[in-house]
Amino acid sequence: MITNNGRLPITIVDVYDKVAKEHHLQTSFSWTSFSGQETFQDVPATLGVGEAIAVRVITEGRSQSTPLHVTLNDGSQQELNLADPDGGRPVSVESAFERLPSCNTSE
């Protein structure tokens, strides 16, 4: 789970798999917010202050049990399914990086 405990909104564009030491070239991630029922895959997640998402990292060659259930503070459970890759083209992480503003260091 990722929670924004800061004072400004944050955008998650990549999830690093510390165990496999892999970035998005071999891994992808799916996530769901607790205010909705949709699951997104490889789509940037913007979190407002105090918002949280459940994240699942998917690594090539590893088996994934599905679905993932997240238990909330009130005792209810929310399901995080793997997104259907044929259900519309998800925005890639690379495209998200391309849309980020770049710093121009030359004057």
Which pLDDT belongs to residue 55?
Answer: 79
- Who has greater pLDDT, 58 or 31? 31
Which pLDDT belongs to residue 21?
Answer: 58
Which pLDDT belongs to residue 37?
Answer: 66
Local confidence band at 16 (pLDDT 50, 70, 90 cut-offs): low
Q: What is the arithmetic mean of pLDDT over 90-103?
A: 52
Residues linked to residue 62 through DSSP beta bridges, in sequence order: none
Q: What is the pLDDT of residues 42-76, one digit of tens each?
A: 788 888 888 888 777 766 655 555 566 666 667 77
Q: Where are the domains of the chain?
A: 2-99
Q: What is the mean pLDDT of the chain?
A: 67
DSSP string, the chain: -EE--SSS-EEE----BTTTTB-TTTEEEEEEETT----EES--EEE-TT-EEEEEEEETTS---S-EEEE-TTS-EEEEPPP-TTSS-PPPHHHHHHHSPPP----
CA 78 vs. chain centroid, Å, equals 16
